[in-house]
Chains A and B, each alone.
Chain A
């Protein structure tokens, strides 16, 4: 029996707590029941939905792999025709990368991060819910395309010209381009949530040096999403526009270049590998100390390795293009970077081995999966260094050797840690452990099956077997190797099936009931919690608070730390400063709502209608989706509706802040980083096409709009920015009508600026479909027009709130969000104008 906690222990909140405090906390965080569960926004529920859906997509994509392996088991097999096989490998690769791996690592973060940070939830719960529903509806639609023989069939990287309208005229490619582009928006929403969550909702005292490694990994991963995903979103937009309007971005005969797609795709695609791997590495860095009962050796070096990998991974994309004829020295830069990135990966591997070596290892299922990960991932890393060597890559390129390498890296680097994590963190779900016996069976089946399936592919690749062939003739020495691979694949699948059975057993209550901290781990996710997360938010003094202060869980559970209740009678969490984690304010958090579910549904319907070329009708679900977003955000910007609250430790914090300290400001800034990266990729597109096809660029200034158009455009964007600045000052003085008029007038200026930019080009006779130059110039104009369109929506919302009296000098977060996007749009407009008007003159 544990002794009761003393009332006077210097805790932030005195004990015992008032009796009604816990009841209030439970009431405000009570989740919706029955069919209303789809309105839930709490990370515990959305996270489980997210993980479950990602697992479902993993199983579906895995079944496609089994079908492919069955087809390849014997030579000249006719189980699947080439058409079905092409669709299967495309949907398998796409599903695994876009619909399983990235969503899964984000899903795990949605579920785990608030617990590790002792936050009551992530900072934008409704955005999380929307991201999930958009992903779920979009993913289901994507897989359903197989049923209608409309699935994409151009490979997971969809290279043009194979995927151009000439060679892929149906809607198959559109399913990929629109579906994946749309689902990436969901990934970006998740990244914004993760960045703001990690930097602003940590518990008091958890300064950056005490941030768990998993949180570091997720921070790096989210940063990589911010800078990598815009490239593929832009690429999909360009290819879709080429298919729809014949703007020749990738058509060599009109000055385009298929390699542009490869650059944009792989600028996303290689960091993508680390976007998947780093979160898994972060999970391993959390599990290994608990497994070994020893602090992570070289913690600071592991953090450095995570951040270094994040940067260096952006210097690797051309190693997917070694055979495309790129100059030799350029290839060498990427070869060098590809070898360099193995150093930080090695640092982490040695840190894990050293931790296991210095501690006393508990031989449980997570341990097996972690060791399996180490074995497989190191092998995959070694073959990665091999293909980083250019002459070797020329031999192995597009062969089964590469198939073996990428599966060793991805399954070893992400799937094994995921299963380790599943067994390790399952008790946080329902206080039960998954079965040790079934878990060990699953591990050995998966580990053995995996190596039997994929190791022979190294040999079949070196014997010359190319990727993506639906069958092969006998007598090439590939027959037995393929049969062995197929047997291994089915054994691997059996291992996965055992895990699913184990999960089902435990979910139905047949698991082994366990204590709150069954692994005796040292981090905060093992503090007892409920829908509201932990009863109070702990004061953190070390990297392993549960090891350094064994009383902490009981103190937290008794309400002895920060924010032990719900003082404003609603959901809320503490926002802290990004480096020191000093409490700054109390953030109100929204509760269940239909908006995210319906907005996700209508967004998916909108994109689906675009895919089947119902362009005008698709505006209806688009408008409904925007209306649902309006509906859910309407109640969020509450203003200072309560006085500053006591959160414990003698600290009183406001319940509302605005300006750069606001979490909302941070989210918009992160969004603008995404936007700016996409624009930078568009500028790269312009410069790349000019580099490869200078002959389609104007030869002299006579073919360009006069500089007066440039001057007019710059003046309009500048005046627009000035109008917003005036509106901001008017709001600061609570002069509402001048503010509204300035917004309306400024918006008119921005519309005029966008129209001016377009007319300037049209009056020269330039056409988008005639050359790559025309295409990229009009793309820049259209890009700017899209931003003005977004501003139309944002300003109308801002004005509506003003009209309802929901905005003022002390309640201006909504206005500030619009202002940030507005100023960014104006700055981008000027840069785009300078590019299209001045660059051709200088180049000519």
Chain B
């Protein structure tokens, strides 16, 4: 694999963690802004704005991470992957990182259902 393709391979391997980071940034940013600007009183489709936004962001992040997981499990990405081929390790890593991120995203999103946004 040439040096040119390293950013692609690296980005793919870390994709699930990057989704986790993006989700974390979005939910923290939305809540911070909502509390600073009184947007926590808004409603969307009859639901309070902040929990709705956090749940929506969490659902999107979970879907993206699940896609990374499924793609890694089904053999997407670089192939073939014989024993001893680093791509085999990278594929395993991608899937395991995605599974970890799924749990982490869910864990991080759950407080929105239990805790008042600005309390």
Contact = CB atoms under 8 A, between A and B. Distances in A.
Interface of A: 199-200, 207-210, 300-301, 303-304, 307-308, 311-312, 314-315, 326-330, 332-337, 339-340, 343-344, 577-580, 584, 660-661, 666, 691-692
Interface string B84-119: 111111101100110010011001101110111111
Contacts of B90: 208-209, 579
B21 interface: yes
Given A577-B1, A579-B86, A328 B116 contact: yes
A751 B117 CA distance: 47
Given A307-B97, A328-B116, A328-B117, A340 B17 contact: no
Given A661-B3, A691-B36, 4 more contacts: A308-B17, A327-B119, A578-B3, A661-B4
A773 B90 CA distance: 46
Interface in B1-18: 1-4, 6, 9, 14, 17
A336 B117 contact: no
A329 B119 contact: yes
Contact of B93 (A303, A578, A584): A303
Chain A CB within 10 A, most for which of B3, B84, B87: B3
B111 A336 contact: yes
Interface residues of B, number: 46
27 contacts: A200-B3, A207-B85, A208-B86, A209-B88, A307-B93, A311-B20, A311-B21, A312-B20, A315-B108, A327-B117, A329-B119, A332-B111, A332-B115, A333-B27, A333-B108, A333-B111, A336-B107, A337-B108, A339-B107, A340-B104, A344-B100, A579-B1, A579-B9, A580-B86, A660-B3, A660-B4, A692-B36
Contacts of B119: 327-329
Contacts of A340: 103-104, 107-108
Nearest to B88: A209
B24 interface: yes
B100 A308 contact: yes
A660 B88 CA distance: 25
B104 A312 contact: yes
A330 B31 contact: yes
Contacts of B37: 691
B97 to A, nearest CB: 6
A124 B35 CA distance: 48
Nearest to B6: A578
Contacts of B88: 209
A666 B97 CA distance: 25
A695 to B, nearest CB: 12
Nearest to A312: B104
Nearest to B3: A661
Nearest to A663: B3
Contacts, number: 120
B28 interface: yes
Contact of B3 (A207, A335, A577, A691): A577
Nearest to A579: B1
Contacts of B50: 329
A300 to B, nearest CB: 6
Contacts of A301: 96
Nearest to B36: A691
B73 interface: no
| Most-contacted residue by chain A among B9, B50, B100 (CB, 10 A) | B100
A327 B118 contact: yes
A304 B97 contact: yes
A327 B117 CA distance: 6
B89 A329 contact: no
A207 B86 contact: yes
Nearest to B40: A327
A328 B3 contact: no
Interface string B25-42: 001100111011100000
Given A308-B97, A328-B119, A660-B4, A336 B110 contact: yes
A327 B89 contact: no
Contacts of B117: 327-329
A711 to B, nearest CB: 30
Contacts of B114: 332
Contacts of B112: 329
A329 B4 contact: no
B3 to A, nearest CB: 5
A333 B93 CA distance: 26
Contacts of A339: 107
Contacts of B14: 307, 311
Contacts of B110: 336
A672 to B, nearest CB: 13
A178 to B, nearest CB: 31
A646 B14 CA distance: 36
Lowest 8 CB-CB distances: which A-B pairs, in order?
A: A209-B89, A332-B111, A328-B119, A207-B86, A327-B35, A311-B17, A327-B118, A329-B117
A304 B100 contact: yes
Contacts of A311: 14, 17, 20-21
A332 B27 CA distance: 11
B22 to A, nearest CB: 11
A587 to B, nearest CB: 13
B97 A328 contact: no
B28 A333 contact: yes
A692 B37 CA distance: 9
Contacts of B97: 304, 307-308
A466 B46 CA distance: 47
Given A207-B86, A340-B108, A579-B1, A328 B115 contact: yes
A199 B21 CA distance: 24
Interface string B54-65: 100000000000
Nearest to B29: A687
B108 A304 contact: no
B12 to A, nearest CB: 12
A334 B111 CA distance: 10
Nearest to A210: B86
A304 B20 CA distance: 15
Nearest to A339: B107
Contacts of A579: 1, 6, 9, 86-87, 90
Nearest to A328: B119
A177 B33 CA distance: 30
A341 to B, nearest CB: 9
Contacts of B107: 336, 339-340
A328 B35 CA distance: 10
Contact of B2 (A200, A207, A577, A692): A577
A752 B107 CA distance: 50
B28 A330 contact: yes
